[in-house]
Amino acid sequence: MEAMEKHFFSDMSVMLGRSMRHIFRSMDTIITVTLMPIAFMLLFVYVFGGAIQTGTDNYVNYLLPGILLIAIASGIAYTAVRLFYDVQRGIFERFHSMPIARSSMLWGHVLTSLVSNAISVVVILLAALIMGFRSSAGILSWLAVAGILTLFTLTLTWVAVIAGLSAKSVDGAGAFSYPILFLPFISSAFVPTETMPSGVRTFAENQPVTSIVDAIRSLLAGQPVGNDIWVALAWCLGILIVAYAFAMKAYKRKAA
Protein backbone atom coordinates (compact mmCIF):
# COMPACT_ATOMS: atom_id res chain seq x y z
CA MET A 1 0.00 0.00 0.00
CA GLU A 2 2.82 2.41 0.90
CA ALA A 3 4.60 1.71 -2.41
CA MET A 4 1.35 2.27 -4.27
CA GLU A 5 0.84 5.63 -2.53
CA LYS A 6 4.38 6.74 -3.37
CA HIS A 7 3.81 5.65 -6.96
CA PHE A 8 0.56 7.60 -7.10
CA PHE A 9 2.02 10.81 -5.68
CA SER A 10 5.09 10.71 -7.91
CA ASP A 11 2.89 10.12 -10.98
CA MET A 12 0.57 12.92 -9.91
CA SER A 13 3.48 15.35 -9.52
CA VAL A 14 4.61 14.52 -13.06
CA MET A 15 1.10 15.16 -14.39
CA LEU A 16 0.91 18.41 -12.42
CA GLY A 17 4.18 19.60 -13.96
CA ARG A 18 2.93 18.66 -17.43
CA SER A 19 -0.29 20.65 -17.05
CA MET A 20 1.45 23.66 -15.51
CA ARG A 21 3.87 23.82 -18.44
CA HIS A 22 0.89 23.96 -20.80
CA ILE A 23 -0.52 26.92 -18.84
CA PHE A 24 2.70 28.93 -18.86
CA ARG A 25 3.10 28.33 -22.59
CA SER A 26 -0.41 29.65 -23.29
CA MET A 27 -0.47 33.42 -22.86
CA ASP A 28 -4.16 33.68 -23.72
CA THR A 29 -4.97 31.63 -20.60
CA ILE A 30 -2.96 33.96 -18.39
CA ILE A 31 -4.46 37.07 -20.01
CA THR A 32 -8.05 35.86 -19.67
CA VAL A 33 -7.77 34.59 -16.12
CA THR A 34 -5.88 37.56 -14.65
CA LEU A 35 -6.20 40.62 -16.86
CA MET A 36 -9.93 40.34 -17.60
CA PRO A 37 -11.00 40.31 -13.92
CA ILE A 38 -8.60 43.19 -13.26
CA ALA A 39 -10.20 45.05 -16.18
CA PHE A 40 -13.64 44.42 -14.62
CA MET A 41 -12.34 45.77 -11.32
CA LEU A 42 -10.95 48.90 -12.97
CA LEU A 43 -14.21 49.46 -14.86
CA PHE A 44 -16.48 49.12 -11.84
CA VAL A 45 -14.28 51.10 -9.46
CA TYR A 46 -13.33 54.02 -11.71
CA VAL A 47 -16.35 54.21 -14.05
CA PHE A 48 -19.39 52.86 -12.19
CA GLY A 49 -18.16 53.09 -8.60
CA GLY A 50 -19.14 56.71 -8.09
CA ALA A 51 -22.76 55.95 -8.95
CA ILE A 52 -23.06 52.79 -6.86
CA GLN A 53 -24.10 53.16 -3.23
CA THR A 54 -22.86 50.27 -1.07
CA GLY A 55 -22.59 51.97 2.30
CA THR A 56 -18.79 51.70 2.21
CA ASP A 57 -16.16 54.38 1.70
CA ASN A 58 -13.94 52.19 -0.47
CA TYR A 59 -15.79 50.44 -3.30
CA VAL A 60 -12.82 48.24 -4.22
CA ASN A 61 -13.08 46.65 -0.76
CA TYR A 62 -16.72 45.86 -1.47
CA LEU A 63 -16.05 44.65 -5.01
CA LEU A 64 -12.98 42.47 -4.53
CA PRO A 65 -14.60 39.20 -3.29
CA GLY A 66 -16.85 39.02 -6.35
CA ILE A 67 -13.95 39.73 -8.70
CA LEU A 68 -11.98 36.87 -7.14
CA LEU A 69 -14.88 34.46 -7.72
CA ILE A 70 -15.19 35.61 -11.34
CA ALA A 71 -11.48 35.01 -11.86
CA ILE A 72 -11.74 31.49 -10.45
CA ALA A 73 -14.82 30.69 -12.53
CA SER A 74 -12.98 31.90 -15.62
CA GLY A 75 -9.90 29.84 -14.76
CA ILE A 76 -11.67 26.53 -14.26
CA ALA A 77 -13.14 26.74 -17.78
CA TYR A 78 -9.63 26.06 -19.06
CA THR A 79 -9.47 22.92 -16.91
CA ALA A 80 -12.44 21.52 -18.80
CA VAL A 81 -10.88 22.49 -22.16
CA ARG A 82 -7.49 20.93 -21.35
CA LEU A 83 -9.19 17.77 -20.15
CA PHE A 84 -11.33 17.64 -23.28
CA TYR A 85 -8.26 17.89 -25.52
CA ASP A 86 -6.50 15.10 -23.59
CA VAL A 87 -9.50 12.84 -24.14
CA GLN A 88 -9.96 13.71 -27.81
CA ARG A 89 -6.27 13.35 -28.68
CA GLY A 90 -6.00 9.95 -27.09
CA ILE A 91 -3.69 11.12 -24.30
CA PHE A 92 -5.82 9.31 -21.73
CA GLU A 93 -5.48 5.99 -23.52
CA ARG A 94 -1.75 6.53 -24.01
CA PHE A 95 -1.12 7.18 -20.32
CA HIS A 96 -3.43 4.36 -19.26
CA SER A 97 -1.29 1.94 -21.26
CA MET A 98 1.73 2.94 -19.16
CA PRO A 99 2.58 1.59 -15.69
CA ILE A 100 1.27 4.64 -13.83
CA ALA A 101 -1.55 5.25 -11.38
CA ARG A 102 -4.63 5.59 -13.59
CA SER A 103 -6.21 8.45 -11.64
CA SER A 104 -2.98 10.48 -11.48
CA MET A 105 -3.72 12.18 -14.79
CA LEU A 106 -7.12 13.38 -13.59
CA TRP A 107 -5.70 14.59 -10.29
CA GLY A 108 -2.93 16.37 -12.17
CA HIS A 109 -5.58 18.52 -13.86
CA VAL A 110 -7.36 19.16 -10.54
CA LEU A 111 -4.17 20.26 -8.78
CA THR A 112 -3.20 22.41 -11.76
CA SER A 113 -6.52 24.22 -11.40
CA LEU A 114 -5.86 24.86 -7.71
CA VAL A 115 -2.31 26.14 -8.29
CA SER A 116 -3.07 28.28 -11.34
CA ASN A 117 -6.14 29.86 -9.75
CA ALA A 118 -4.18 30.58 -6.58
CA ILE A 119 -1.62 32.46 -8.68
CA SER A 120 -4.44 34.42 -10.36
CA VAL A 121 -5.94 35.34 -6.98
CA VAL A 122 -2.58 36.63 -5.71
CA VAL A 123 -2.09 38.76 -8.85
CA ILE A 124 -5.58 40.25 -8.53
CA LEU A 125 -5.02 40.98 -4.83
CA LEU A 126 -1.84 42.87 -5.70
CA ALA A 127 -3.75 44.88 -8.32
CA ALA A 128 -6.47 45.63 -5.74
CA LEU A 129 -3.84 46.86 -3.27
CA ILE A 130 -2.55 49.27 -5.91
CA MET A 131 -6.13 50.48 -6.44
CA GLY A 132 -6.56 51.20 -2.73
CA PHE A 133 -7.79 47.94 -1.23
CA ARG A 134 -7.07 47.73 2.49
CA SER A 135 -7.95 45.06 5.01
CA SER A 136 -8.01 44.96 8.79
CA ALA A 137 -8.24 41.16 8.81
CA GLY A 138 -5.94 39.14 11.03
CA ILE A 139 -4.01 36.06 10.02
CA LEU A 140 -6.85 33.68 10.96
CA SER A 141 -9.31 35.63 8.84
CA TRP A 142 -6.93 35.58 5.87
CA LEU A 143 -6.50 31.82 6.31
CA ALA A 144 -10.29 31.45 6.37
CA VAL A 145 -10.55 33.47 3.14
CA ALA A 146 -7.87 31.29 1.55
CA GLY A 147 -9.74 28.18 2.69
CA ILE A 148 -13.07 29.37 1.24
CA LEU A 149 -11.47 30.30 -2.09
CA THR A 150 -9.64 26.96 -2.25
CA LEU A 151 -12.84 25.05 -1.53
CA PHE A 152 -14.71 27.12 -4.13
CA THR A 153 -11.98 26.40 -6.69
CA LEU A 154 -11.99 22.69 -5.90
CA THR A 155 -15.78 22.56 -6.18
CA LEU A 156 -15.87 24.25 -9.57
CA THR A 157 -12.91 22.19 -10.77
CA TRP A 158 -14.82 18.94 -10.29
CA VAL A 159 -17.75 20.48 -12.14
CA ALA A 160 -15.26 21.32 -14.90
CA VAL A 161 -14.05 17.71 -14.91
CA ILE A 162 -17.59 16.55 -15.71
CA ALA A 163 -17.77 19.01 -18.60
CA GLY A 164 -14.32 18.09 -19.91
CA LEU A 165 -15.04 14.38 -19.89
CA SER A 166 -18.59 14.59 -21.23
CA ALA A 167 -18.50 17.40 -23.83
CA LYS A 168 -18.75 16.63 -27.53
CA SER A 169 -16.86 19.76 -28.61
CA VAL A 170 -14.30 22.15 -27.17
CA ASP A 171 -16.93 24.90 -27.12
CA GLY A 172 -19.19 22.67 -25.07
CA ALA A 173 -16.37 21.91 -22.64
CA GLY A 174 -15.89 25.58 -21.82
CA ALA A 175 -19.50 26.73 -22.11
CA PHE A 176 -20.52 25.33 -18.71
CA SER A 177 -18.66 28.22 -17.05
CA TYR A 178 -20.89 30.91 -18.59
CA PRO A 179 -23.77 30.53 -16.10
CA ILE A 180 -21.23 30.44 -13.25
CA LEU A 181 -19.60 33.64 -14.50
CA PHE A 182 -23.04 35.25 -14.66
CA LEU A 183 -24.03 34.39 -11.06
CA PRO A 184 -21.87 37.08 -9.38
CA PHE A 185 -23.74 39.75 -11.33
CA ILE A 186 -27.00 38.61 -9.68
CA SER A 187 -25.63 38.56 -6.16
CA SER A 188 -24.26 40.94 -3.56
CA ALA A 189 -20.91 41.01 -5.38
CA PHE A 190 -21.40 44.42 -7.03
CA VAL A 191 -24.36 46.02 -5.24
CA PRO A 192 -26.33 45.26 -2.06
CA THR A 193 -29.23 42.90 -2.72
CA GLU A 194 -31.57 45.39 -0.99
CA THR A 195 -31.39 47.59 -4.10
CA MET A 196 -32.77 44.86 -6.39
CA PRO A 197 -36.41 44.22 -7.41
CA SER A 198 -38.12 41.67 -5.17
CA GLY A 199 -37.93 38.70 -7.56
CA VAL A 200 -34.29 39.29 -8.43
CA ARG A 201 -33.47 39.95 -4.77
CA THR A 202 -35.01 36.62 -3.72
CA PHE A 203 -32.84 34.76 -6.21
CA ALA A 204 -29.72 36.77 -5.32
CA GLU A 205 -30.08 36.13 -1.60
CA ASN A 206 -30.61 32.39 -2.04
CA GLN A 207 -27.84 31.44 -4.46
CA PRO A 208 -24.32 30.29 -3.48
CA VAL A 209 -22.32 33.30 -4.63
CA THR A 210 -23.99 35.78 -2.28
CA SER A 211 -23.17 33.82 0.87
CA ILE A 212 -19.60 33.20 -0.30
CA VAL A 213 -19.06 36.86 -1.22
CA ASP A 214 -20.59 38.11 2.04
CA ALA A 215 -18.47 35.72 4.11
CA ILE A 216 -15.23 36.75 2.38
CA ARG A 217 -16.13 40.45 2.57
CA SER A 218 -16.79 40.25 6.32
CA LEU A 219 -13.58 38.33 6.94
CA LEU A 220 -11.49 40.84 4.99
CA ALA A 221 -13.13 43.71 6.87
CA GLY A 222 -12.47 42.07 10.23
CA GLN A 223 -16.19 41.95 10.96
CA PRO A 224 -18.34 39.13 12.41
CA VAL A 225 -19.23 36.64 9.69
CA GLY A 226 -22.42 35.28 11.18
CA ASN A 227 -24.13 32.43 9.36
CA ASP A 228 -22.78 33.40 5.95
CA ILE A 229 -19.66 31.28 6.30
CA TRP A 230 -21.65 28.17 7.23
CA VAL A 231 -24.07 28.69 4.36
CA ALA A 232 -21.13 29.21 2.00
CA LEU A 233 -19.39 26.04 3.22
CA ALA A 234 -22.62 24.06 2.96
CA TRP A 235 -23.15 25.18 -0.65
CA CYS A 236 -19.56 24.40 -1.64
CA LEU A 237 -19.39 21.01 0.11
CA GLY A 238 -22.80 19.93 -1.19
CA ILE A 239 -21.94 20.80 -4.79
CA LEU A 240 -18.46 19.30 -4.40
CA ILE A 241 -19.76 15.92 -3.23
CA VAL A 242 -22.30 15.69 -6.07
CA ALA A 243 -19.82 16.93 -8.70
CA TYR A 244 -17.10 14.53 -7.53
CA ALA A 245 -19.48 11.56 -7.72
CA PHE A 246 -20.58 12.41 -11.27
CA ALA A 247 -17.02 13.24 -12.34
CA MET A 248 -15.68 9.89 -11.15
CA LYS A 249 -18.55 8.12 -12.89
CA ALA A 250 -17.72 9.92 -16.14
CA TYR A 251 -14.01 9.18 -15.67
CA LYS A 252 -14.57 5.47 -15.13
CA ARG A 253 -16.72 5.38 -18.25
CA LYS A 254 -13.94 7.02 -20.28
CA ALA A 255 -11.24 4.82 -18.75
CA ALA A 256 -13.16 1.58 -19.33
3-state DSSP assignment of residue 101: coil
Q: Which of 169, 18, 158, 22 is nearest to 84 (CA)?
A: 169
List pLDDT tens digits, range 95-119: 666 656 566 677 888 888 888 899 8
Q: What is residue 32's DSSP assignment?
A: I
213, 188 Cβ separation under 8 angstroms: yes
CA distance 42 to 45: 5
Q: What angle do CA 46, 47, 48 make, to 5 degrees?
A: 110
Q: What is residue 212's DSSP assignment?
A: H
Pairwise pLDDT comparison (63 vs 20), residue with the higher score = 63
Sign of CA dihedral 20, 123, 139, 67: negative
191, 200 Cβ separation under 8 angstroms: no
List pLDDT tens digits, range 68-83: 999 999 888 888 888 8
What pLDDT does residue 255 have?
64
pTM for the full model?
0.86
